[in-house]
Amino acid sequence: MKKNLKKLDTKFSKKIDKLLKVKKIKNGFKVLDLFSGCGGMALGFEAIGFKTIGYDNNKDCCLTYEENLNSKCFNLDLNKTNIVEKTDVVIGGPPCQPFSVGGLQKGILDSRDGFPAFLKTIQKVKPKLFIIENVRGLLYKNKWYLDKIINFLFKLNYKIDYQLVNMSEYLVPQNRQRLIIVGYKNSFEFPKKSLQKISAEDVLGNYFDYAPEQSKYLTKSMDNYIKKYETASKCINPRDLKKKEPSRTLTCRNLAGSTSDMMRIKLKNGKRRKLFIREAARLQTFPDWFNFCGSEQSQFYQIGNSVPPMYSYQLALKVLDCLTNKNKKIIRSVRFQPSFL
């Protein structure tokens, strides 16, 4: 589908391609990106001029990171590694399965918990600021664990703020709720909400009427299964992608899996097809020039697990303001919004 991207460009996709270019001239600040994934959060920071270094235990993620960011990504298990490298900022999304609504929510008892390694790194490298991205489940059944994390960070003399953010309010065409925790020494302000909402059509454009030869269509039996599923669950609105609205949350399962919950487009002829890698990437606000490594399933997983680079870009602007104490420029991260489409 790469050769067809040009004719399917939208105003939004063109601006994303330019806005999120990796800056060759750096701003002098270094960022450690823990549990980095393929580099969604790092891309927003690199576009502002930060120098990032990634750490992830998935080889495909590290290959994708290095191919697109021109930065090193170390393929290692952070739970078994001590990082002592000096840095200004630490960012990352510790594995969220222990706190996800769909992940059994065992919290600290879950071996997939990445918070101990993240907190240990904060304690050792003593950054000026850090950002943790995680699922909203940490605010509910596992709220006791969030309190424990915050108390630990308070003892390290950080001021702590956190917000439950819906990415659709920050120029991301997706109703994606995530918890953002920020620790800092002086002052920090979260990005302002946008007056604009970006719809799936703003990002995908003619993809809604486009069916390449390699399209994967849902079978009649799959359509019947979906109909039964939506009837049983009293689903008022079908789960097909809607043109005029942001997408629902992209996850590994609904991108890569053949389930009743899968992300799909309903064509004019009534057929449904699965999303392509490029379509999923656009909904997550990755530029079209951003290449993913590994199998199709691996690429879908990388996209589903990512922080949308468009939101990360706005966070990075606020981080730069915090590090340079340029409070008078606090609104610059939203100045481009009125003419974004």
**Range in 121-135, 250-264, 276-290 with the lowest mean pLDDT:** 250-264
The residues, any chain, with a CB within 8 Å of residue 331's CB and separated by 6 or more, are 192
- pLDDT-derived band at 105 (thresholds 50, 70, 90) equals very low
Residue 5: the pLDDT is 57
Note whether 42 and 65 are within 8 A (CB): yes
For the chain, the structural domain boundaries read: 11-194+308-334, 200-286
**Range in 25-34, 108-117, 248-257 with the lowest mean pLDDT:** 108-117
Residue 324: the pLDDT is 93
Supply the pTM of this predicted model. 0.90
Spatial separation of the C-alpha atoms in residues 325 and 336, rounded to whole Å? 21
The DSSP output letter for 217 is: B
Residue 130: the pLDDT is 98
| Percent of the chain topping pLDDT 70 | 88
The predicted model gives 109-135 an average pLDDT of 86
CA 320-323-326 angle, to 5 degrees, is: 75
Spatial separation of the C-alpha atoms in residues 27 and 45, rounded to whole Å? 10
- pLDDT-derived band at 227 (thresholds 50, 70, 90) equals confident
| Percent of the chain topping pLDDT 90 | 65
Between 246 and 102, whose confidence is greater? 246
Q: 300: closest CA among 339, 261, 263, 259?
A: 263
Q: Known catalytic residue: 235?
A: no
Q: What is the CATH number of domain 11-194+308-334?
A: 3.40.50.150
- Any idea which residue has 């059509």 for tokens? 201
- Tell me the three state secondary structure of residue 219: coil
Residue 237: the pLDDT is 75
Residue 7: the pLDDT is 64
Note whether 45 and 52 are within 8 A (CB): yes
**Range in 23-27, 147-151, 212-216, 231-235 with the lowest mean pLDDT:** 231-235
The predicted model gives 127-135 an average pLDDT of 96
Whether 143 has a pLDDT exceeding 70, the answer reads yes
Whether 101 has a pLDDT exceeding 60, the answer reads no
Structure tokens at 256: 């890569």
Structure tokens at 120: 């240990």
The residues, any chain, with a CB within 8 Å of residue 213's CB and separated by 6 or more, are none
Structure tokens at 66: 């290095």
Catalytic residue among 96, 235, 252, 322: 96
Residue 322: the pLDDT is 95
Residue 176: CB atoms within 10 Å: 23
What are 158-184's pLDDT values in tens digits?
999 999 999 999 999 999 999 999 999
